[in-house]
Amino acid sequence: MKVLVVGNGGREHAIAKKLLESTRIKQVFCVPGNGGTATTQGCQNLSLNIDDFQGIERFVMVNNIGLVIVGPELPLSLGIADYFQQRKMMIFGPTKAGAQIESSKSWAKELMLEAGIPTPKAAVFTDAEAAKAYVLEQGTPIVIKADGLASGKGVTVATTVKMAHSAINTIFRGEFGTDNIRVVVEEFLTGQEVSILALTDGITVEPLLPAQDHKAIGEGDKGANTGGMGAYAPAPIVTPELMERIQEEILEPTLAALQKRKIDYRGVLYAGLMITPEGEPKVLEFNCRFGDPETQAVLSLLETPLEDLVLACCQQRLGEYSIRWKSGASVCVVLASGGYPGSYQKGKVITGIEEAEAKGAEVFHAGTQLKHQQLVSDGGRVLGVTAAGETLEQAISKAYAAVDCIQFEGVYCRRDIGRRALGDKN
Ligand code: AMP
Ligand code: GLY
C-alpha cells in the first residue's frame, strides 16, 4: 500500500519512518515534507500546500494511494477529512466538526463542562472589558487563552493583573484572528503536565503510552514556551491506576460527548493534562492530532504496526486490537536554531547525522531542507534525536551521545530532557 502523509514536522518524519518499517508499505509521500522525508528511502516529497485539497486528491487518485494521514491541526480544522470522506477516500483524522476540540477552546470547554470532564474552572468572554473585570475579581495567577488556533502562542500564564490585561488586549487587537474574537480566562493549576495521545475510531478509544513534553526553552522549565523541546515516554507519573482513571473520567466521556453531538471522530484525541498535587488528572487542552515531539518518542516504542492501527481507526475496527509496546523507555531531544522561539537564522549546514544514528539513535527532521544536495536548517525546531533503552536513563544517555555528534551553527538543546522522571528536581 502507498500512503500520503500531510505535514512537514518531526512528527510527520516519525510517522513516515514508522510506516516504512512494515513490508506492506511500499511508499510514503509527504506533503510538503522536509529534508528528512526527502532523504528517507521509500519516501518522497510533493510540493503541494497542505490546504490544497484538490491537488492532494488528484495525486491520491492518479497514484492509487490507499491512505492519507494528517499530521497538523490546520488542514483538519479546514475540513480535509470531510473533503476526502465525501470522496470515499481513506483518511486518518477528524472532520472539521471534530477538530473544533482543538480549534476552539471555548467549544472544547463547553463540551467538557457538559460531560463532567475534570478541567480547570473558566469563563468565556467576547468583550475585553468584561474579561478584565473577571481577572480583577479572580486575582492572579490566572491563564488567558485565545479561543482559536494560535500555533501554541495563544496562551499566557499571567502572574500579574497587568500581564493578564495586556494578554486580553493582544487577543482583542486581533493578533490571533479577527473573526468572532473570544477569550477563555482559566483558573491556574499547578502540577505536572502529561500528554495522553489516544487513538479512536469513534466507537472505542485506546490511549498510547503516556508522554511528557518539555515546553519551555530553558532547562528546569524556565523561559519562553516553545512548540516542545523534547519528550519522553512512558511518563511514570501515569501509573496504571491513573491511566484507568484517565480512560474512565476523560477519554470515554469525551468520546461520548462527541457522539452526542453526532461527530464521527476517527483519529487522534490528544488530551493535555495537568496532574494536580492531589493526583487528580485535569484537562488543560485537547488537540485533534498527534503531538510533536511526543509522537517521536511514543512511536519508537510501538510494536503493533502503525498502519494496522490507523486503518482500524478509519474502518471502525479499533476494538479488534490491543496495542503492543516494546519494553523500556524512549526520549526525543529537540535540536533548535539559536534564538528560537524568538528570531533565528536559517540555512545553516547540518553535519553528523550519520554518526548520531551510528550511536543507536534515530534522527527525525523537523525544520530542515535539502538544498543543493546539502542538508540545511530551515526552522526553529530543526531535529529530534530519539533513542530507546531498557531504562529511561539508558535512553537519555544514548540520545545525548547522538546529540553530541550533530553540528550546525547556533545549535541549541536542553540538556535535561527526561530528567524529571528520574527524580531530579526542576
Ligand atoms: P494549552 O495550549 O491550553 O495547553 O496551554 C499551553 C501551556 O500553558 C500548557 O502546556 C501549560 O503549560 C500552560 N497552561 C495552560 N492552561 C493552564 C492552566 N489552567 N494552569 C496552568 N498552566 C496552564
Ligand atoms: N507537544 C505539544 C503539541 O503537539 O501540541
Report the run of H or E that residue 370 belongs to, with start and end. strand 368-371
Does domain 2-95 fall under CATH 3.40.50.20? My reply is yes
Residue nearest to atom 8 of ligand 1 (CA): 155
Distance CA 370, CA 40 (A): 12
Show the cell assigned to 136: 480583577
Residue 306: per-residue pLDDT: 98
Residue 274: per-residue pLDDT: 98
- How is the chain split among helix, strand and coil, in percent rounded to 5? 35, 25, 40
Residue to probe by mutation, ligand 2, list 151, 290, 292, 333, most atoms within 8 Å of CB: 292
- Angle among Cα 187, 189, 191 to the nearest 5 degrees reads 170
Distance CA 403, CA 356 (A): 7
**Within 147-290, where are the H helices?**
161-172, 240-246, 252-260
Residue 356: per-residue pLDDT: 98
Question: Which one of the ligands is nearest to 225 CA?
Answer: 1
Q: Is residue 22 within 8 Å of 47, Cβ to Cβ?
A: no
- Give distance in angstroms: CA of 188 to centre of ligand 1: 8
Q: Which fold has domain 192-320?
A: D-amino Acid Aminotransferase; Chain A, domain 1 (3.30.470)
CB neighbour list of residue 321: distance below 8 Å, 6 or more residues apart = 206, 304, 308, 309, 312
Residue 424: per-residue pLDDT: 66
- The strand pair at 2-7 and 212-213 is best described as unpaired
Q: Is residue 290 within 8 Å of 306, Cβ to Cβ?
A: no
Q: Is 213 near ligand 2, meaning CB less than 6 Å away?
A: yes
Q: Is 102 near ligand 2, meaning CB less than 6 Å away?
A: no
CATH 3.30.470.20 domain locations along the chain: 192-320
CATH 3.30.1490.20 domain locations along the chain: 127-181
Q: Is 73 near ligand 2, meaning CB less than 6 Å away?
A: no
CB neighbour list of residue 239: distance below 8 Å, 6 or more residues apart = none
Residue 178: per-residue pLDDT: 87
Show the cell assigned to 156: 499566557
Q: Is 287 near ligand 2, meaning CB less than 6 Å away?
A: yes
pTM for this prediction: 0.97
Which atom of ligand 1 is found nearest the CA of 154? 2
Does domain 329-425 fall under CATH 3.90.600.10? My reply is yes
Residue nearest to atom 16 of ligand 1 (CA): 284
Distance CA 192, CA 380 (A): 25
Closest CA to 265 of 284, 247, 245, 287: 287
Distance CA 252, CA 246 (A): 9
Backbone angles phi, psi at 238, to 5 degrees: -90, 90
Question: Which one of the ligands is nearest to 332 CA?
Answer: 2
Show the cell assigned to 124: 468565556
Report the run of H or E that residue 353 belongs to, with start and end. helix 353-358
Residue 152: per-residue pLDDT: 77
- Residues with C-beta less than 6 Å from any ligand 1 atom: 120, 143, 145, 155, 157, 186-189, 193, 215, 272, 284-285
Distance CA 130, CA 284 (A): 23
Q: Is 7 near ligand 2, meaning CB less than 6 Å away?
A: no
Q: Which fold has domain 127-181?
A: Dna Ligase; domain 1 (3.30.1490)
Check the CA dihedral 289-294-295-298 and report its sign: negative
Q: Is 206 near ligand 2, meaning CB less than 6 Å away?
A: no
Distance CA 93, CA 79 (A): 10
CATH 3.90.600.10 domain locations along the chain: 329-425
Which atom of ligand 2 is found nearest the CA of 292? 4
Q: Is 93 near ligand 2, meaning CB less than 6 Å away?
A: no
Q: Is 228 near ligand 2, meaning CB less than 6 Å away?
A: yes
Check the CA dihedral 312-314-317-323 and report its sign: positive
Q: Which residues of the chain have pLDDT under 70?
A: 424-426
3-state secondary structure 123-135: EEECCHHHHHHHH
- Give distance in angstroms: CA of 215 to centre of ligand 2: 8
Residue nearest to atom 3 of ligand 1 (CA): 285
Q: Is 292 near ligand 2, meaning CB less than 6 Å away?
A: yes
CATH 3.40.50.20 domain locations along the chain: 2-95
326-335: buried (b, 16+ CB within 10 Å) or exposed (e) per residue? eeebbbbbbb
